[in-house]
Amino acid sequence: MKIRIFRHITATLMTLLLVLHLPLAPEANAEPVHGIAMHGEPELPPDYTHFPYANPDARKGGSITYGVRGTYDSLNPFIVKSIRTTARGSWDATFGRLTFESLLFRNRDEPFSLYGLLAEKVEWPDDRKWIEFTLNEKAKWSDGTPVTVEDIIFSFDLLGEKGKPNYRNYRKKIDSIVKTGPGKVRFNFNDEADREFPMIIAVSPILPKHATNVETFDQTTLQPMIGSGPYVMDQIEPGKFITYRRNPDYWGEDLPSRQGFGNFDKVTIEYFRTDTTMFEAFKKGIIDVYPEGSPSAWLRDFDFPAVKSGDVVKDVFKLEGTPAPLQGFVFNTRRKVFEDRNVRKALAMLFDFEWINRSLYYGAYQRTASFWHGSELSAYQRPVGDIELDYLKPFPDAVSPEVLNGTYKPQESDGTGRDRKVMRKAYGILVKAGFKRNGSTLYGPDGTPFSFEILTQNAGQEKLAISYRRTLEKLGMQVSVRTVDSAQYQRRTQSYDYDMVIKTYSASLSPGIEQIWRWGSRSRDVEGTFNFAGSADPAIDAMINNLLQAREKQEFVAAVRAYDRVLMSGHYIVPLYHTDEQWVARRNYIKRPEKTSLYGYQFETWWDDRATSN
């Protein structure tokens, strides 16, 4: 009886502590630290002064103008309605998170490690069932109001109710968010959370409770939003440009994680309807930097006078050990025409990389075969290991034999553009799947002509799609290529209104929860996700879960390789090509650090050499 009474009293006290937001005693195996890593320990010590790829002595001042293709109709980057038409820059993987910040900040020179930003300290137990942050007392919003624990709780509750699907999903994994003391907040997770989830929480956006309209938050807006970041939204011209102005009273100026970042007084992002007009704007000096993704364009088009005079500098960044981004023609498996994996396999075989690479790209590309090509996470040309076999055992048909034993290679052609041996091989697979050619037309198992449309968004994609169509038509397929404007392209891809589309998937050495929204079953029927292929496979879901739950690096690498094998065997895309270089042209007054991060160039660390301050 006494034991039961004691337990009842203990449970009641714990409940009161949670309700009253009183501090909870931390577990013995947790202590405040300056940074955390997904696997192992962070590389930088507590007394680090700056990230290795940032120059703490970079000049402050001046300006930079970027160019993007498209348009925008909203300043809120966190909601579904502006998921692909929000203004760039405020919360941006390319140009930086200029306006909004997170509790911790990612060091791009490590696979996945986080250091202090809005929170100066962090603690978690070995099982990662919770994570607790201690806010930096200096943290302030751009209007001077202090950042509080209430802002943190408000942000996750609001985004969980009215944010993008991924934010809503995050909130479902949080059991409670508790104020545990002055400036301290703890997230307690339920059983749906995985080991990466605390890291995701740490890099999620934080919004000001006092300056956010809850009622209208899920509606598009052109009203400048308040954040805690180094820049404030300044000049706004929807569809044309947006300008950010550096906040002279930015609270985090002295943080080690911010040294060498946010160097420009003004950041402008100009919008263009086509890549051609954007490139002409760069040649004329309207924009200051121009990342180039085409090797042929890099070799052919950058010979204009400003390059010859030295006013424009061409930079080549070599990437080593990081996975190549995966670009490919994506099959929309929601469409009946692409339901059969063997049909997708046959169509993938018909992409004549050797001919296209020579004819269109000066032979500059390498063929991509893996979703983590070129890194230790790739299963390509690696025989399956014991740990992987354990992961794959419940799904004996998920991985093809050649992928399992490491002998798989994308189909190679003779490079002539008319390799009949490859076409006969692909046709044989289609015949087994119930297809039959009659005259010049290929008919499907249901007796209707095999036809589909490739949706493209620019001239470069259109040229590539036409080259691919050239081979497909030789087997009697009826393939149309349709290029649409940016607004229509965004609408159609957001609602999965296409048969086939060209997409690029970024890759990192720390894949995690984002994989659910690219390939997981739960994202198949949710509008606005990145599951462009419409994949919904129990084997994929299980492999994602394995990589999310992995504790040691060996387990993690094996989990990703097993996942890679399942995706390769599924033939959800026609993999295209990649290069291990990044190409960026810049005006000669735009400078960059000598060291490049593990993931390549970082615009946030560049500066204007015309600035007068040091």
- The answer on pLDDT for 202 being more than 60 is yes
- The answer on pLDDT for 459 being more than 90 is no
- The answer on pLDDT for 427 being more than 70 is yes
Alpha-carbon gap, residue 512 to 505, rounded angstroms:
14
pLDDT of residue 81: 87
Domain segments of the chain as ranges: 326-424+453-459+494-578
Alpha-carbon gap, residue 531 to 519, rounded angstroms:
5
Return the number of other C-beta atoms located less than 10 Å from residue 450's C-beta.
23
pLDDT top residue among 396 and 362: 396
Alpha-carbon gap, residue 81 to 74, rounded angstroms:
9
Beta carbons of 139 and 103 less than 8 angstroms apart: no
For the stretch 316-367, pLDDT in tens is 999 888 998 899 999 999 999 999 999 999 999 999 999 999 988 888 899 9
Alpha-carbon gap, residue 115 to 304, rounded angstroms:
43
pLDDT of residue 8: 42
Within a 13 Å sphere around the CA of 559, how many CA atoms are in the beta-carbon half? 21
User: Diameter of the chain by CA atoms?
Assistant: 90
pLDDT of residue 1: 39
For the stretch 13-61, pLDDT in tens is 444 444 444 444 444 457 899 999 998 899 999 999 999 999 999 999 9
Q: Which long-range contacts (CB under 8 A, 24 or more apart) does 139-143 make?
A: 139/228, 139/251, 139/252, 140/228, 140/249, 140/251, 141/208, 141/210, 141/211, 141/226, 141/227, 141/228, 142/99, 142/226, 142/227, 142/228, 142/229, 142/232, 142/247, 142/249, 142/250, 143/208, 143/211, 143/226
Within a 13 Å sphere around the CA of 504, how many CA atoms are in the beta-carbon half? 10
Least confident of 104-108, 319-323, 553-557: 319-323
For the stretch 211-228, pLDDT in tens is 999 999 999 999 999 999
290 closest CA partner among 65, 92, 93, 585: 585
- The answer on pLDDT for 528 being more than 70 is yes
pLDDT of residue 490: 87
Alpha-carbon gap, residue 379 to 375, rounded angstroms:
9
- The answer on pLDDT for 97 being more than 60 is yes
For the stretch 476-521, pLDDT in tens is 999 999 999 888 998 999 999 999 999 999 899 999 989 999 999 9
pLDDT of residue 7: 38
Q: What is the identity of the amino acid at 31?
A: E
Beta carbons of 175 and 189 less than 8 angstroms apart: yes
pLDDT of residue 29: 52
What mean pLDDT is predicted for residues 125-151? 97
pLDDT of residue 25: 42
pLDDT top residue among 166 and 310: 310
- The answer on pLDDT for 591 being more than 50 is yes
* Mean confidence (pLDDT) of the chain: 93
| pTM more than 0.85 | no
pLDDT of residue 551: 86
Q: Does domain 326-424+453-459+494-578 have CATH number 3.90.1010.10?
A: no
